[in-house]
Chains A and B, each alone.
Chain A
Amino acid sequence: MRLGSDVDSFSATWQRSYASLDVLPEDEVCHFRIVVERQLGARRWYRPQVVFRIEGLTPFDPYPLDHAFPMFEWGLNWCIAMSAHDYLMLHSAVVERDGCAVVLPAQPGSGKSTLCAALVGRGWRLLSDEFGILRHADGCFLPLPRAAPLKNASIPLLRDFAPHLGFGPRYAKTRKGDVVHMFPPGDSLQRQADPARPRFIVFPRYEPGAALQLQEQPPEVAMTRLVNNSFNYRVSGALGFRSLCRLVRECASYQLINGDLSEAVAAVESLVQAREP
């Protein structure tokens, strides 16, 4: 990605989030050329705004200037969702420990990002908070470690649960409520070229006050849920079908209903600890 910006606060937050990434040479071919810049016009004097440009196009309405970082992150998600069709894209977080990747597919509001961030806080490698990028050739997930947006009540929860993680500024009243990003740990960024083989699929669902339930899901149920969860299943055609079949055959699948973050983390960790070598 080639990124340019004239918004100082955005540049500072971006550098904090991705500080350990290597900068590519000027002539390196990149997937996306993105500019995050101030919106010109009279409005910039009384309510300054920022725009996201990709290859010179402006696909979104402007955001308030101080929301430049969440705009960039959501804009980059859009770019990936629109173009990464060489892979099967799941709406899921993916974390890995000891060579064992756990896929966390979920709908918005299910606590996926919160659980993902908590696992990262316990030392799991972050492959992705939003996109499970499944490679058709070998069934492995490719890392896409990015800043994970925590929303509303998740923000103080994660600050208490994993205070050692890096967190960005608070963005109040975005379209998704208040947002704070958990920055990707340096070791996850350094290992962004290392794919991981999935062993477990866990469908998380947060329900306030709910007792922990970890129930195995038949593979055909997991298959149905993943077909509906994928961003580009229909575009992927037969390749996507075969990749999903392989994924649900090679992984044990579970539904995880939880009302307590510590219990949810312990449940996921118990799966991995109990697996046969």
Chain B
Amino acid sequence: MMHGWQLSSHDTLILEEIGDCVAVYSNATGETHLLDALPAEVLSCLSSGACLTHLELAVAVAKVADEPWENWLPQVCNVLERLASMQLVERFAR
């Protein structure tokens, strides 16, 4: 069974660019977060309701950055763990 990632259940996010950051508002928790470009890009990939593995997310981020996806994989994994600790994303089994 593969594990992937999705936005936290029942949550919708609002993303707004503010200066060099992206401000994220969680409708579920009422919390506001200021994120760097990479976590914001990861959330953007998931915000359409997509359920993606860390590999698929690394490929999506690499495409934006125009670099090999292998370069991004460790960072994407770290970011996903951080976003999970902020209750913005959660694992799912598929």
Instruction: Name A's B-contacting residues (CB within 8 A).
Output: 218-220, 223-224, 227, 233-234, 237-238, 241-242, 245, 248-249
* Residues from chain B with Cβ under 8 Å of A241 in the complex: 14, 16, 23, 25, 32
Q: Does B18 contact A (CB under 8 A)?
A: yes
Given the known interface contacts A220-B21, A220-B23, A223-B23, the answer about A237 and B30 at a Cβ–Cβ threshold of 8 Å is: yes
Q: What distance in Å separates the Cβ of A85 from its nearest Cβ neighbour in chain B?
A: 14
CB–CB B14/A223 < 8 A: no
Q: Nearest CB to that of A233 among chain B residues? A: B32
> Chain A interface mostly helix, strand, loop or mixed?
helix
Q: What distance in Å separates the Cβ of A206 from its nearest Cβ neighbour in chain B?
A: 27
* Residues from chain A with Cβ under 8 Å of B25 in the complex: 238, 241
CB–CB B14/A242 < 8 A: yes
> In the complex, what distance in Å separates the CA atom of A233 from the CA atom of B21?
20
List residues of B (1-34) whose CB comes within 8 Å of A's CBs.
14, 16, 18-21, 23, 25, 27, 30, 32, 34
Interface size on B, residues (CB 8 A): 12
CB–CB B19/A220 < 8 A: yes
User: Inter-chain contact count A-B, CB under 8 Å?
Assistant: 35
* Residues from chain A with Cβ under 8 Å of B27 in the complex: 237-238
> In the complex, what distance in Å separates the CA atom of A233 from the CA atom of B30?
9
* Residues from chain B with Cβ under 8 Å of A237 in the complex: 27, 30
Q: What distance in Å separates the Cβ of B18 from its nearest Cβ neighbour in chain A?
A: 5
* Residues from chain B with Cβ under 8 Å of A218 in the complex: 19-20
**Sample (12) of A-B pairs whose CB atoms are under 8 Å apart:** A219-B18, A220-B18, A220-B20, A220-B34, A223-B18, A223-B34, A227-B32, A233-B32, A241-B23, A241-B32, A245-B16, A248-B18
Instruction: Name B's A-contacting residues (CB within 8 A).
Output: 14, 16, 18-21, 23, 25, 27, 30, 32, 34
Given the known interface contacts A220-B34, A227-B32, A237-B30, the answer about A249 and B18 at a Cβ–Cβ threshold of 8 Å is: yes
CB–CB A238/B19 < 8 A: no
* Residues from chain A with Cβ under 8 Å of B32 in the complex: 227, 233, 241
Q: What distance in Å separates the Cβ of A33 from its nearest Cβ neighbour in chain B?
A: 32
Q: What distance in Å separates the Cβ of A136 from its nearest Cβ neighbour in chain B?
A: 14
> In the complex, what distance in Å separates the CA atom of A249 from the CA atom of B17?
9
Q: Nearest CB to that of A241 among chain B residues? A: B25
Q: What distance in Å separates the Cβ of A243 from its nearest Cβ neighbour in chain B?
A: 11
* Residues from chain B with Cβ under 8 Å of A238 in the complex: 14, 25, 27
